[in-house]
Amino acid sequence: MNYPEQKREIINGITYNYLCHIENVVKEGNVFPAHYHNYIEILYGISGTYEVILNGKCYKFTDGDLVLINSKEVHQINSCCQKGGQYIVLRFEPEVIYNSMFYNHLQLKYVFPFILENSEHQKVIKKATIESTFIPNLLYEILKEFQMEAYGYELAIQNHIGRIFLWILRYFHQANVDFMHSLLTNMSSFKCLQPSFDYVLEHFNEDLKATDMAALCNMSSSYFSRTFNEQMHMNFNEYVNYIRITEAEKLLISTTMNITEIANAVGFNTTSYFIKLFKSYKNISPKQFRKEFIITFDK
């Protein structure tokens, strides 16, 4: 069955890689129909009782409970109370805590459990486990930072998310949760692909071909392409474009180079194609991106 994908949200023309708000539920019944998104999502119950359906399995949560929803995991939320209730919603792109485009296979072992759709880690951490930790206060602090937008709030939010993520990892580790059995194939594949990741980062402005990367990784072209698609959820050319757009972002905010110069610097032959691709990735033109950054920076 095909479920709708919730796209990355845009607020006042700016694309956020994290979002936080209180969900106010006014009645019993469905809160959100089945859907998925690239965000990793954390729910924290304030009042009321809910059921969250994750990949067909039903879990209950109530005030003080924490729910973990993986990136791209199909989920539905229902309210079980006639008067509804409230819960905190924290969503963040995986890149907030890691960047699979840049990190190597050794570091990916920490985030794999939260980016795989079929990961079987514990989905609900009960109130009794977290009420004496810093987690509840930190979630309210993230909410406050997102609402107030004080100077440097972006750094504060990313730092807080990192602390929550680290606590969850150590909690699972202390509970002897073993992810590696189901992740060995993925880890091995990433290790084999690592030479191509390293090469692209060093030569993204050059003409890059999947066939050359296959040879670099000691793979056949067909096996390299299939493995790359499976692990990265994009083909090699899409990956190269992602890296180029990311590098273009850096140049837009750190240099006075014009759009054509930046397009050439990151490996695009035509400015028009660069602008088109940038808009498809960022939902904003390079020129507007630079303008929005300046406005945000001057706040």
Question: What is the homologous superfamily of the domain 180-297 according to CATH?
Answer: Homeodomain-like (1.10.10.60)
pLDDT at 291: 80
pLDDT value at position 97?
Answer: 75
Query: Residue 290: what pLDDT?
Result: 84
Secondary structure percentages of the chain, helix, strand, coil, to 5: 50, 20, 30
Measured CA to CA in angstroms, residue 103 lies from 99, 201, 217 at distances of 6, 11, 17
Pick the CATH number of 10-174 from 3.90.25.10, 3.40.980.10, 2.60.120.280, 3.30.70.600: 2.60.120.280
Instruction: Check residue 109 and give its pLDDT.
Output: 59
H-helix segments, 91-152: 105-108, 112-115, 127-130, 135-148
Which pLDDT score, from 0 to 100, does residue 95 have? 75
What pLDDT, on the 0 to 100 scale, is given for residue 8?
61
Question: E strand or H helix at 33, and its extent?
Answer: strand 29-35
pLDDT at 98: 63
Residue 112 is predicted with a pLDDT of: 60
Cβ neighbors of 278 (< 8 A, separation 6 or more) are 245, 248, 284, 285, 286, 289
Assess whether the region 10-174 and the region 180-297 belong to the same CATH fold.
no
Separation between Cα atoms, residue 219 and residue 223, nearest integer Å = 6
Question: For the range 159-164, what are the long-range contacts, defined as Cβ-Cβ under 8 Å and sequence gap of 24 or more?
Answer: 161/18, 161/90, 161/92, 161/96, 161/97, 162/96, 162/97, 163/134, 163/138, 164/42, 164/135, 164/138, 164/139
The 10 Å Cβ neighbour count of residue 37 is 20
Output the tens digit of pLDDT for each of the chain's 299 residues: 555 666 666 666 566 788 999 999 999 999 988 888 888 899 999 999 999 998 778 999 999 999 999 888 888 999 999 999 999 999 988 777 765 444 455 555 566 666 655 556 789 999 999 999 999 999 999 999 999 989 989 889 989 998 998 898 888 878 765 554 455 456 677 778 889 988 998 899 999 999 999 999 999 999 999 988 877 778 999 989 988 998 898 898 888 899 999 999 999 999 999 999 998 887 789 998 888 765 444 44
What residue ranges do the domains of the chain occupy?
10-174, 180-297
